[in-house]
Amino acid sequence: MTTEGVDGKSPVFQERLWPSLGMWVFAFIMTSSLGIAYSQAYGKELGFIVAISTTLAVVIGLIVNTPLIQVDELNLRAGRARLPLEYVGKVQILDDVQSRRARSTDANSNAHFQLRGGIKGSVIVEVTDPQDPHPYWQVSTRKPDALIAALVNTKTG
């Protein structure tokens, strides 16, 4: 049974990898600076319009591009990628030091990464599909225990 490209109907775990507070502040400072620059060059009204419109565009962009980590009865989903549960092998929680090493010096260039800056921990999920070019997935998560429990319980249940 292949579940390529299909989500299940009953999510048992969901987590959005929202940007960090620092990213939101940085975005606000940059869009405000753009509005100030336009206000100095072309007047306060245009500067205000530019600041508001660029802030809205950046906020919408950050929200739309926030990846979803989900486990349902068929798949592990990380962003747009899906891994059928039948091909989920060993799963390992990494602390912040192990996560940093796993995504840099110890990284396999063929692995699939769904990482978010500002989230220190991650999970490594072994891929057992012999046709899949990715030996494992490394996924950022703020709830590693819940993600692993969902994978184990859904796969065995």
pLDDT in tens, 9-45: 789 999 999 998 999 999 999 999 999 999 999 999 9
Q: HSE (CB half, 13 Å, CA atoms) of 93?
A: 12
- Backbone dihedral angles phi then psi of residue 91, each to the nearest 5 degrees: -125, 135
Domain boundaries, the chain: 21-64, 69-156
DSSP β-bridge partners for residue 122:
94, 140
Compute and round to an integer the Cα radius of gyration of the chain.
20
Structure tokens at 148: 């692993």
**Residue 157 — pLDDT band, cuts 50, 70, 90?**
low
CB 147 within 8 A of CB 71: yes
pTM exceeds 0.75, yes or no = yes
